[in-house]
Structures are given as structure tokens and as C-alpha cells.
Amino acid sequence: MNRRFFSQLLTLGAGLFAARSTGATDTNDRAELTDPAHSAAPSNLPVTVSDFVAQAAARLPRASFEYVTTGSEDEVTLRDNVKAFRRIRVLPPLLHGVSTTDLSTTVLGQKISMPVLLAPVAALRMLHPQGVLASARAAARANTICAASSSALNGVEEIAQASDGPKWLQLYVPRRRDVAQRLVARAEAAGFSAIVVTVDLGERKDADLRNRFTVPKDMLLKHLRDIGYTHLTDQSSHIELIEFNAAAWDISLNMDFFKWLRGMTTLPILLKGVLSADAARQAVDLGLNGIVVSNHGGRRLDGMPASIDVLSDVAQAVDGEIEILMDGGIRRGGDVMKALALGAKAVMIGRPQAWALAAGGEAGVIRVLDILRDELTNAMIASGCSSVESVNSSLLRT
Ligand code: FNR
């Protein structure tokens, strides 16, 4: 493992030097990672998720960086998401005789190379010109799933055109049900293979208020038109579009919505934002296909528990009836192993994806997935796990 890891680093480092001296590059995104005007020197090649944070901070306008990085109010939940993983200790068996591991798994029947997916992240096009298109391509290259946010600022057809890899659409629900229905039908026709409905709504972050963070007019207009509000035109002012946007989404969803959605699509449906055993049981009873244990990365109601702290209660309530994903605070491959041990089928990454995209576009996202893959491989071999199925809670001392 170590040898593989270091040879990979050397290869990447050599690639960077070659690209600099010859000007040759694989892709525009890789060019950005290697262009000294844009990116870190080879000695600054990211080797951990946190290495991307400084690179993202150096590239993004402050308001965009803080939009990604901060959490709501006092950031209690945001901090706890990360710290809760640090509190969990791993106690692997001795003499386990394992020297290789297979990270591949399936999620909703889709085979993927490792149990790490890209979480839906809004406004990705403000972080990098290729936005979610780069994320979708990176996920395809890494052979995993991109769960694209309906607010990523690219339309579903564009995303499908950018990548034929596995894709889910995360839905914020348009208040006009005819628009919602058409959007889901368009996603299905474009080849998206599941709908993720996010139910923890209402973002109010101090940093965004101070920075007066807003989506630029042209991006907001395109976004609303992409969603299906095609009557909007350039004639509307930025303020009018902001007001329209504020009223365009249904933030009073209840479980009846899922009966409606179930009746109009055959795609699998996941409920994102579950933190309790009761909510998880409701999802099972509604006939949904999966849940995402999530507090939206500490961006919604501050004071909610860390996702990893409630995962095993949720898993117990679900009792294997539907698949469980989790997100919030994944910063190391070892965190992924802890989530699997506590009942997740796979995890999703939000900020790590966004920082990496800002730092290096598609190549950055590929790199962050590689880092997590290598760290997870290392953690699993050290824990005597030869496959993701063999990870269980006996490894942990909580
Ligand atoms: C998000 N998240 C999110 N979730 C969602 O369902 N739809 C969305 O549009 C967004 N937008 C969004 C923007 C930004 C900038 C971030 C950082 C996050 C939440 C995301 O899917 C995920 O739940 C968290 O990001 C997971 O926590 P970590 O990985 O950021 O710690």
C-alpha cells in the first residue's frame, strides 16, 4: 500500500514537472492544477482533504469560499460533524493476515469502485467554470456516483451531456408541481438513475449575510430557466429574480409529497436529511429506496447532532430494509470506514468536493477521491478488512 501510494505521488509529481516544462496538459482542468499562475507548486500537491482548503481559499473570492466552508450560526453542528469522527476509536484485531482489500460495492444496485459518492452541492459553477459538469466527469472517472444538486447552476441535460457516468438528481422541490413533475421527467429521460429529495430546508448563515452572498444575475436567470421557469427573461432585474427565487421553492414539504412523487416516477427515491430512527421508519413505511443520514453539513439548524453520532440508531431502526447513506464531516478515508462500521452503505462528500473543484476543477475532484480511496485502503488493510462487507462495529471502541 505504502509503495503504491508513494509511487502514485511520484508519478503525479513527475507529471506536474513534465506539464510545466513542455506546456503539455491532459485537460484544461489539469492545466489549471499545474499552471503556476493558478495553482500550487508540486511541493504543494494536495495529499489530504485539508490541503485543498488553503488552495480553494487562495482562488475563490472570499464570499464564495465562506459560502462553501462556513456553517450556520455558531457552527456547533459543523464542528461536531468533524469532531465526532475523531472521538471514535478503532481497535483492529491482531494478526489478521490481510494485505489487500476490495473497496467496490453497490448502491441501489449500481456497482461503484468505492463507497464514496459526490454529495449534492449548490452553486458549483460559482466555484469553477465547469462546476457540476466537472464533478460529474470526475465521478465517472473514479467509477462512482455524482448526486448533482438541482441548484448546482447547470441544467440536467447539460450534466447528462457532460458525463454518461452514474448520476442522481437531488431535488429542491419547485412550488409549482407541474414544474417539479417536468423536471423529474427530464432527469429520467436524460439518464439520471435516482432522485434524492432534500428535506432539511432553510439556509441562514452569518457569513453569507455579512458578505451579502448572492448568485450573479445571469447564473440565477439560467438556473431558474433550467429548472423549468422558462417564462423568465433578461427583462427581469436581479432583485426581481432573487425575489422570484425566494418564493419558487416549496419549503413546507410533508410526507404526502413523497406519495405524489412515488406516483409519478419509477426512479428510486432517497430522502436526505434523516437524523432520527422515527424519520427513518417513516421513509421505510413510505416505500422509499434509501435515506441519507445528514444534517446538511451543519448548514441548516445549528445544534442538530453530528450525523455519525445518530447513524447506528438509524441503522438499527431501518434493520436492513432500505439502504443508508450518510454525509457530514468526512475528511479522511478512516472516517468512511467508521461510517460503514456503524451501518452506512456508503458516504457522500460535500465540502471536500467543493474545495477540490475550486482548487483544480475535474482533476482536483479526481484527486480528492483518490486521496480518500488510498486512505480508506490503508485503514481497511490495517483493520484486517478484505472487503467493505467485512467492516463492522466490532472494529470500534466508541
Ligand atoms: C451543500 N449541501 C447541499 N445539499 C443538498 O441536498 N442540496 C444542495 O444544493 C446543497 N448545497 C450545498 C452547498 C454547499 C456549498 C455545501 C458545502 C453543502 C449539503 C451537502 O449535500 C452535504 O449534506 C454536506 O456538505 C455534507 O457535509 P460535508 O461533507 O460538507 O462535511
Q: Whose CA is nearest to atom 19 of ligand 1?
A: 296
Q: Among residues 119, 178, 140, which one has the least CA distance to residue 366? A: 140
Q: Assign residue 36 a region (left: φ > 0; alpha: ψ between -120 and 50; beta: otherwise).
A: alpha
Give the integer Cα–Cα distance in Å for 317 and 304: 19
Phi and psi, residue 63, nearest 5°: -65, -40
> How does pLDDT run across 145-160, given as a tens digit for each residue?
999 999 999 999 999 9
State whether the beta carbon of 68 lies less than 6 angstroms from ligand 1: yes
Stretch 365-388: mean pLDDT, rounded? Answer: 98
Look at residue 202 in the predicted model and tell me its pLDDT. 87
Stretch 289-312: mean pLDDT, rounded? Answer: 98
**Residue located via cell numbers 430512527:** 277
Stretch 114-134: mean pLDDT, rounded? Answer: 98
* Nearby residues of 341 by Cβ (< 8 Å), 6 or more positions away: 391, 392, 393, 395, 396
pTM score, whole prediction: 0.91
What cell numbers appear for 165 in the block?
457516468
Residue 283 counted as domain residue: yes
Give the integer Cα–Cα distance in Å for 337 and 377: 9
Q: Which of 65, 83, 121 to mutate to test the pocket of ligand 1 (most atoms within 8 A of CB)?
A: 121
382 close to 97: Cβ distance less than 8 angstroms: no
Residue 224 counted as domain residue: yes
* Nearby residues of 313 by Cβ (< 8 Å), 6 or more positions away: 276, 277
Between the CA of 212 and the centroid of ligand 1 the distance, in Å, is: 20
Give the integer Cα–Cα distance in Å for 58 and 40: 10
Q: Where are the beta strands (DSSP E) in 266-318?
A: 269-274, 290-293
Residue 286 counted as domain residue: yes
Secondary structure of residue 209 in the 3-state scheme? helix
Q: Which of 83, 197, 351 to mutate to test the pocket of ligand 1 (most atoms within 8 A of CB)?
A: 351
State whether the beta carbon of 121 lies less than 6 angstroms from ligand 1: yes
What cell numbers appear for 58 in the block?
487562495
State whether the beta carbon of 373 lies less than 6 angstroms from ligand 1: no
What cell numbers appear for 86 in the block?
475523531
Give the integer Cα–Cα distance in Å for 206 and 302: 12
Stretch 301-311: mean pLDDT, rounded? Answer: 98
Give the integer Cα–Cα distance in Å for 352 and 329: 9
Number of domains in the chain: 1
Give the integer Cα–Cα distance in Å for 76 and 302: 6
Q: What is the CATH number of the domain that holds 217?
A: 3.20.20.70
Give the integer Cα–Cα distance in Å for 218 and 324: 37
Q: Residue 345: which domain range?
A: 42-83+105-372
Mean pLDDT, the chain, whole residue set: 91
Residue 347 pLDDT greater than 70, yes or no: yes
Look at residue 398 in the predicted model and tell me its pLDDT. 66
Residue 233 counted as domain residue: yes
Residue 31 counted as domain residue: no
> How does pLDDT run across 3-28, given as a tens digit for each residue?
343 333 333 322 222 222 222 233 33
Residue 8 counted as domain residue: no
> How does pLDDT run across 50-81, given as a tens digit for each residue?
999 999 999 999 999 999 999 999 999 999 99
Look at residue 43 in the predicted model and tell me its pLDDT. 61
Stretch 311-340: mean pLDDT, rounded? Answer: 98
The pLDDT confidence band at residue 255, using thresholds 50, 70 and 90, is confident
**Is residue 102 exposed (0-12), middle (13-18) or buried (19+ Cβ within 10 Å)?**
middle
State whether the beta carbon of 205 lies less than 6 angstroms from ligand 1: no
Residue 288 pLDDT greater than 50, yes or no: yes
Residue 326 counted as domain residue: yes
> How does pLDDT run across 188-209, given as a tens digit for each residue?
999 999 999 999 998 999 999 9
Residue 38 pLDDT greater than 70, yes or no: no
Residue 166 counted as domain residue: yes
Look at residue 157 in the predicted model and tell me its pLDDT. 98
Between the CA of 297 and the centroid of ligand 1 the distance, in Å, is: 6
Stretch 110-122: mean pLDDT, rounded? Answer: 98
